Amino acid sequence: MRSWTIISLLVVTSSFAGCLGEEDGFVWPEPESWDCSIQESYNLSCYKYLDGFTSPISSLKHPTKDEIWIVELSGLIHSWDGTEISEIADLSSMISTCHVEQGLLGMAFADGFGENGTILLSYVEDGSCDGPNESDLVLSSAGISPSGKLDVSSIKVLKSIEQPYRNHNGGHLLNIGGSQFLWGIGDGGSGFDPEENGQNPSTQLGTILQFNYLDGEVSPVLEDPIGDPYVLHHGLRNPWRFDLDSHGRLWISDVGQNCWEEVNLVTLENPANLGWAEMEGEYLVDSSSPCGGSVANESVKDQYTGPVSTYSHSGGNCSITGGFWMDWGPSDLHEGYLYGDFCTGSMWILKEVDGSWSESHIGSSGGMIVGFGEGLGGELLAFHWTGEIVHIG
């Protein structure tokens, strides 16, 4: 177990994925690293996998080559083949970094990448940092040239979603097969959902969208939507990460407002209302109360699909970041949903025990977790806000 030097002194001035803001008297900590600490019950250890990055948030295994691609919030994409780090793209001139939650937020390989060389990108477009937010969340396609570099001239905007504020953009992209994708969209920002997007299924804010990508165009999938034809699930605050498990269920790590972080479990077949901004975890939302209102009664809970797990902001926790369904990586974590906390680096695994879901604390990764990924050999990686990538295994 080791501690590492801070690589990037980015100042976190407001919620990375949501939480309290400075107007509430809360000041976010600066990026830092510390000693990794794993519970003795897990046969796991930590060490630095890669460093030299500024803002790595995810990795994807290349469909045809033995390499991973590393996506950075700053707009950079690099490949790693075990020997060399190579730049795939620098999109920094195209994206907004006015706010710490803006930037390049997601990437996915299109079906048939080996033949068509197409990737999908999710980012907040470049715009002025003065005045109200005028930068949309954008879904684009792009081509990878024979040299292995992204061809900037090939970028094509497929869909834009207006963002009323600069935070809560979501942006995660997930290829679920059959030329279908999921796209996570935050509630539009500010605090307590002032425009009431979460409970409005006719807006694409505060949702998980499902779409087809065929012949260079996107189209809805749902045959009988309850609102907007792209909206699969709504009632979300900021679904920073989500993943499908081996049973085809969708796990969503949704970031809380003041006190509660939550994990939701839904399906692709049944659209669900996850409760925001009426509910935060098991509690009624009350903007006048530091930790929301009272526990919702059963009649209220019946209106929404409640979380399968929550955790509070006690002990320095502040913001959930997922996450994978672990049917790969360390065997101790198999058949469970992995997630962590941004501020404390704490990690948990959620497994089904005697018919109910039970979380187990794994330990701390030794840094401020912004995401998890898979390494070249199936290693579990944690991405830290300080720029390092840590191997856990």
29-56 pLDDT, tens digit per residue, is: 689 999 999 999 999 999 999 999 999 9
Of 380, 360, 378, nearest to 369 by C-alpha is: 380
Instruction: Tell me the three state secondary structure of residue 297.
Output: coil
> Residue 27 — pLDDT band, cuts 50, 70, 90?
low
Closest CA to 234 of 184, 277, 278, 272: 272
What is the per-residue pLDDT for 1? 32
| Local confidence band at 23 (pLDDT 50, 70, 90 cut-offs) | very low
Residues 54-81: pLDDT tens digits? 999 999 999 999 999 999 999 999 999 9
Q: Name the domain count of the chain.
A: 1
What the block records as the tokens of 97 is 């970094």
Pairing mode, strands 118-124 and 137-144:
antiparallel
Residue 84 lies in a domain: no
Is 311 inside a domain boundary?
Answer: yes
The secondary structure of residue 244, as a DSSP letter, is: E
* Cα(178)–Cα(102) distance, integer angstroms: 29
Q: Classify residue 38: in a domain, yes or no.
A: yes
Distance CA 151, CA 88 (A): 9
pLDDT value of residue 28? 61
- Residue ranges making up the domain that contains 343: 22-50+165-392
Q: Predicted confidence band at 107 (pLDDT cuts at 50, 70, 90)?
A: very high
How many angstroms separate the CA atoms of 198 and 229, rounded?
A: 16
Q: How much of the chain, in percent, has pLDDT values that exceed 90?
A: 87
pLDDT digits (tens, 9 = 90+) for 263-280: 999 999 999 999 999 999
Whether 6 has a pLDDT exceeding 70, the answer reads: no
Residue for token digits 């479990």?
265
In a domain, 248, yes or no: yes
Answer whether residue 70 is part of any domain: no
> pTM of the full predicted structure?
0.93
Per-residue DSSP letters for 99-128? STT-SEEEEEEPTTHHHH-EEEEEEEBP--
pLDDT band of residue 8 (cuts 50, 70, 90) is very low
Helix (H) or strand (E) holding 301: helix 298-301
Percent of the chain with pLDDT over 70: 92
The per-residue pLDDT for range 341-360, each reduced to its tens digit, is 999 999 999 999 999 999 99
pLDDT over threshold 70, residue 132: yes
Tell me what pLDDT residue 288 has. Answer: 84
Q: Where are the beta strands (DSSP E) in 34-147?
A: 37-38, 46-50, 56-61, 68-72, 76-80, 85-90, 104-109, 118-124, 137-144
Cross-strand bridge partners of residue 95: 125
The runs of H, that is alpha helices, within 14-143 are 113-116
The answer to the question of residue 90 being in a domain is: no
**Could you tell me the CA-to-CA distances from 18 to 186, 254, 320, 321, 381 in Å, in that order?**
10, 10, 9, 11, 23
Q: Where residue 228 sits, what CATH number does that domain have? A: 2.120.10.30
98: in domain: no
pLDDT of the residue at 21: 41
Report the C-alpha gap between 225 and 233 in whole angstroms: 10
Confidence band (pLDDT; 50, 70, 90) for 20? very low
Which pLDDT value is given to residue 228?
A: 98
Domain membership flag for residue 315 = yes
Q: Is the pLDDT of residue 3 over 80?
A: no
Residue 26 has pLDDT above 60, yes or no: no
pLDDT digits over 313-331, tens only?
999 999 999 999 999 999 9
Q: CA-CA distance, 330 to 334, in Å (whole number)? A: 7
Taking the C-alpha atoms of residue 264 and residue 349, their distance in angstroms, rounded to an integer, is 14
Q: Using the structure block, give the residue that is written with the tokens 């502040």.
A: 318
Task: For residues 370 and 347, give the distance between their C-alpha atoms in angstroms, rounded to a whole number.
Answer: 12
Omega cis (within 30) before 127: no
